[in-house]
Amino acid sequence: MHFDKLGLVVIDEQHRFGVMQRAELIRRGYRPDVLVMTATPIPRSLAMTVYGDLDVSIIDELPPGRTPIDTRVRGESSRNKVYQFIAEEVRQGRQIYIVYPLIEESEKMDLAAATKMAEVLQKDIFPQFSIALLHGRMKSQEKEEVMRRFIACEAQILVS
């Protein structure tokens, strides 16, 4: 790509815009201001803020008119109560999304993985509901189709 006057680059989720992409901008002669946005900073981003390469801005209020999001964390012992809550919310016409820390299972970490849990949820827990899976390894077109289905309420539960 060619830019006549590139002055600002906004990067959402810095781990997807790495050292090589930055080097390419510099190689092409671009030295724009950079705004990095993230909800979950990666260690490199944290180090850059500590050692002076990044300034920190915090957005701590919602845009006007936006409904607050209610986030709750529950332990393994509450799993069945959580499933009951999810089923009731879906029956009332609401949608749910469930976020897992991994895309696929790992031998190194004992964490639930999105692909496996999407199958378990659809087959064993919520066979009466439509469940969609969304993760970063999917092709752009697949991700767009999953989001289209969720927005159109064709999927009641989104697993990511």
Residue 95 sits in a domain of what CATH number? 3.40.50.300
Do 90 and 16 have their domain in common? no
Examine the pLDDT at 18 and tell me if it is beyond 70. no
Examine the pLDDT at 14 and tell me if it is beyond 60. no
Which 8-state DSSP code applies to residue 116? H
Q: How many CB atoms lie within 10 A of CB 141?
A: 8
Do 29 and 86 have their domain in common? no
What digits encode the pLDDT tens for the residues 77-129?
Answer: 999 999 999 999 999 999 998 887 766 666 565 546 788 889 999 999 999 99
Do 150 and 93 have their domain in common? yes
Do 81 and 42 have their domain in common? no
Do 138 and 83 have their domain in common? yes
Q: What band does 159 get if pLDDT is binned at 50, 70 and 90?
A: very high
Instruction: For residue 69, tell me if it sits in a domain.
Output: no
Structure-block tokens of residue 10: 């906004």
Give the separation between CA 103 and CA 131, rounded to whole angstroms.
16
The residue ranking higher by pLDDT, 87 or 30, is: 87
Cα 76 to Cα 81, 83, 112, 120, 134, distances in angstroms: 10, 11, 11, 16, 23
Examine the pLDDT at 25 and tell me if it is beyond 90. no
* Domain interval for residue 29: 8-50
Structure-block tokens of residue 18: 């790495």
Cα angle 22, 58, 99 (rounded to 5 degrees) comes to 80
Q: Domain count of the chain? A: 2
Examine the pLDDT at 13 and tell me if it is beyond 80. no
Do 155 and 87 have their domain in common? yes
Asked if 122 and 113 touch (Cβ cutoff 8 Å), the reply is: no
Instruction: For residue 2, tell me if it sits in a domain.
Output: no
Instruction: For residue 114, tell me if it sits in a domain.
Output: yes
Do 35 and 82 have their domain in common? no
The residue ranking higher by pLDDT, 95 or 54, is: 95
Which 8-state DSSP code applies to residue 22? H
For residue 101, the SS3 value is coil
The reported pLDDT for the residue numbered 106 is: 61
The reported pLDDT for the residue numbered 112 is: 66
The reported pLDDT for the residue numbered 137 is: 82
Do 100 and 145 have their domain in common? yes
Mean pLDDT (the chain, rounded)? 83
Give the separation between CA 15 and CA 45, rounded to whole angstroms.
9
The reported pLDDT for the residue numbered 110 is: 53
